[in-house]
Structure 1
Amino acid sequence: MTAESQAPAEDHAPADRHSPDLTAGERAMLEGWLEYHRRTLAWKCEDLTDEQLRTASVPPSDLSLMGLVRHMSDVERSWFRKVLAGDDQGWIYWSDEDPDGDLHLTEADTWKGAYAVWQAEIETARTNAARFELDDLGLGKRRPHSEERYSLRWIYTHMIEEYARHNGHADLLRERIDGRTGE
């Protein structure tokens, strides 16, 4: 067996995943990087079965690709609905009884369902963000009884960081599932 045949298969990025323009203005740059990372997570989940997407990394962790997508649905909701727009719809997967409900999957959980919820939250995030300027402070609070207010710029920066961190997890999960790698 040659070294080439032992190397994991490299997965090339999809054509619709673009880095932001190198000379974009600040808002376009922030939005571009956020979209890039959203698309990266979707790409890491492409061409896998529901069972593969529910596969946890290593015990005792419940972390899976589908769990990451569900997690990011609640994160999108938290920052762009609750904190930015002041629209507290409650959580999708998290609860007081199960704060890690996004990661606790059953056989009934499907990619189709998780993906649809995630995309709906992303679309709401885009719509809500379009109503604000980068320096505008959100209308809501992250925690009850807190006086902290977050600017749209801070939220974009935090969301880029959140996706980038979890995309690192997604890289490892995908490689464990079928050996595919790629940046």
Structure 2
Amino acid sequence: MKTERSEPAPDAGERAMLEGWLDYHRDTLAWKCAGLDDAQLRTASVPPSEFSLLGLVRHMAEVERGWFRQVLVNDDPGSIYCTAEDPDGEFHVTDKDTWDEAYATWQQEIAVARRNAVRFGLDDLSEGASRSSGTSFNLRWIYTHMIEEYARHNGHADLVRERIDGATGD
């Protein structure tokens, strides 16, 4: 598992900058989970919340799929962990859910995201649209949103990790 992070070059072009910051935040989430066993990764942040690092990784796999498959290229393979009966299924982890499965699924979705994004320019509009608003988005907006999504959730991950074993970091 990759846990080293590097910021994009301060003079990088716009696309390299956006992709670099997105990768930085993806790596940050992996780093927040590094060295923990499955039981620790399933540990809820603060009861009654079910928020856990394992659930967060599963959530980000769903988010990658939603933006880079469903919206960007109009491919809807369905949800990974969520169902109509359990729309927040990614956060409802059980003793059977493992890091190996969640990490592999997340990395697979990241690989698909990269393959799909390379076909678009930053100003190109998505082939799909938001389910709620019907809005199409350019790739720049999707990258910016994904950076925001990861950055916000990495703050949550930092607090959960500190609760589990006291580890902190930026």
Same fold (TM over 0.5): yes
Aligned: 1:130 with 2:118? yes
Distance between the aligned counterparts of 2:121 and 2:66, measured in 1? 19
Name the % identity. Answer: 67
Q: Which segments of structure 1 move beyond 6 Å, counting only runs of 4 or more?
A: none
Query: How many residue pairs align between the two structures?
Result: 169
Q: SS where residue 124 of structure 1 aligns?
A: helix
Shift of 1:81: 0.2
Shift of 1:114: 0.3
Shift of 1:15: 7.1
**2:81 paired residue among 93, 98, 102:** 93
The aligned amino acid for 2:134 is E
**Corresponding residue for residue 31 of structure 1:** 19
* Cα deviations by residue, 1:13-48 (Å, 9 ceiling, x for unpaired): x87310110000000000000000000000000000
**Corresponding residue for residue 7 of structure 1:** none
The structure showing larger relative contact order (alpha-carbon pairs under 8 Å, at least 6 residues apart) is: 1
Stretches of structure 2 that go unaligned for 5 or more consecutive residues are none
**Corresponding residue for residue 82 of structure 1:** 70
Which stretch of the first structure deviates more once superposed, 115-124 or 95-104? 95-104
Classify 1:150/1:21 alpha carbon distance in 2 versus 1 (closer, same or farther; 3 Å): same
**1:156 paired residue among 102, 120, 143:** 143
**Corresponding residue for residue 66 of structure 1:** 54
The aligned amino acid for 2:147 is I
User: Which structure: larger Rg?
Assistant: 1
Distance between the aligned counterparts of 2:89 and 2:4, measured in 1? 31
RMSD: 1.1
Distance between the aligned counterparts of 2:73 and 2:3, measured in 1? 32
Stretches of structure 1 that go unaligned for 5 or more consecutive residues are 1-13
Distance between the aligned counterparts of 1:63 and 1:72, measured in 2? 13
State the TM-score, normalizing by the size of structure 1.
0.90
State the TM-score, normalizing by the size of structure 2.
0.97
The aligned amino acid for 1:157 is T
